[in-house]
Amino acid sequence: MNVDGSIALVTGANRGLGARLVDRLLDAGASKVYATARDPHTVDPVVSSHPRVSTLALDVTDQASVDAAAKAAADVTLLVNNAGVLGFGTALDADLDLFQRDALTNYIGLLRVSQAFAPVLTTNAPGAIVNVLTLIALAPVAGMAGYCASKAAAHSITQSLRAELRGKGVEVIGAYPGGIDTDMLAGVDADKAAPETVAERIVAGLTAGQTVIWPDDASAGAGSLYLGDPLALERTLAG
């Protein structure tokens, strides 16, 4: 998709990867970016005062909030489902409330926003939805079972959305990062890519017409492994 001249909306744009995606979309020539957040006052003031940025309240778990955002941002051509949460825990011992929060945000929330914006995107076509998933949607790592399951569901619904929007001028793209150095993984000892790099590669992949984006070195390597042998990735990530 041509980002230059697009009108983008990013969920969870107040910090982490979402904030960097707003920067990169502006750099790539988006004519407007809706920087949305549960509390729009938490969007960086430098960003919110940018002439091509509009801030908007959007809680992906709240239908009324999502519907109001879709009404207010009826000119969107590029939806970036970035908002996400991570509750730690194993499949056998974890707190199911945490798993439910991950599912309601990462899977149902992404779907809720996609459903609300699908009529907007098809009306304004050509356009795209970019879903920020994760490498560990494809095979889980220990201690993040609920998060991985929620992202696996989001991966599957991404494929359904792609099929349903095919022919309506809306591309549906999945981005599958490895670890990123944001609040989400604070305190976790792991290889982490800079959010600036991940955001840049997501926007570059989108511009290049990629349907599946591996936006950092770790995910690019693991993605190749997955495409050749999914069970090998499962064994590798499970340790």
Ligand X SMILES: NC(=O)c1ccc[n+]([C@@H]2O[C@H](COP(=O)([O-])OP(=O)(O)OC[C@H]3O[C@@H](n4cnc5c(N)ncnc54)[C@H](OP(=O)(O)O)[C@@H]3O)[C@@H](O)[C@H]2O)c1
Q: Which residues bind ligand X (CB under 6 A)?
A: 11-12, 14-18, 37-38, 42, 58-61, 82-85, 105, 109, 132, 134, 177, 179-180, 182-185
Whether 226 is catalytic is no
**DSSP 8-class letter at 135:** G
Closer residue to ligand X in complex, CB, 62/168: 62
Instruction: Write down the least CB distance from residue 230 to ligand X, Å.
Output: 18
**DSSP 8-class letter at 43:** S
Closer residue to ligand X in complex, CB, 59/200: 59
- The token duo for 190 is 């792991």
CA angle 110, 102, 74 (to 5 degrees): 20
Whether residue 89 contacts residue 145, with contact meaning beta carbons closer than 8 Å, is answered with: yes
Among 131, 85, 137, 99, residue whose Cα is nearest residue 112: 131
Closer residue to ligand X in complex, CB, 1/132: 132
**SS3 of 184, please?**
helix
Identity at 234, one-letter amino acid code: E
Instruction: Write down the least CB distance from residue 96 to ligand X, Å.
Output: 18
Instruction: Write down the least CB distance from residue 5 to ligand X, Å.
Output: 25
- The token duo for 215 is 């936006």
Closer residue to ligand X in complex, CB, 2/18: 18
Instruction: Write down the least CB distance from residue 194 to ligand X, Å.
Output: 11
Instruction: Write down the least CB distance from residue 191 to ligand X, Å.
Output: 10
Between CA 33 and CA 216 the distance in angstroms is 24
- The token duo for 208 is 């290049």
Whether residue 136 contacts residue 232, with contact meaning beta carbons closer than 8 Å, is answered with: no
Among the options 34, 107, 147, 176, which is catalytic? 147
Between CA 142 and CA 57 the distance in angstroms is 34
Closer residue to ligand X in complex, CB, 10/121: 10
As annotated, the active-site residues are 147
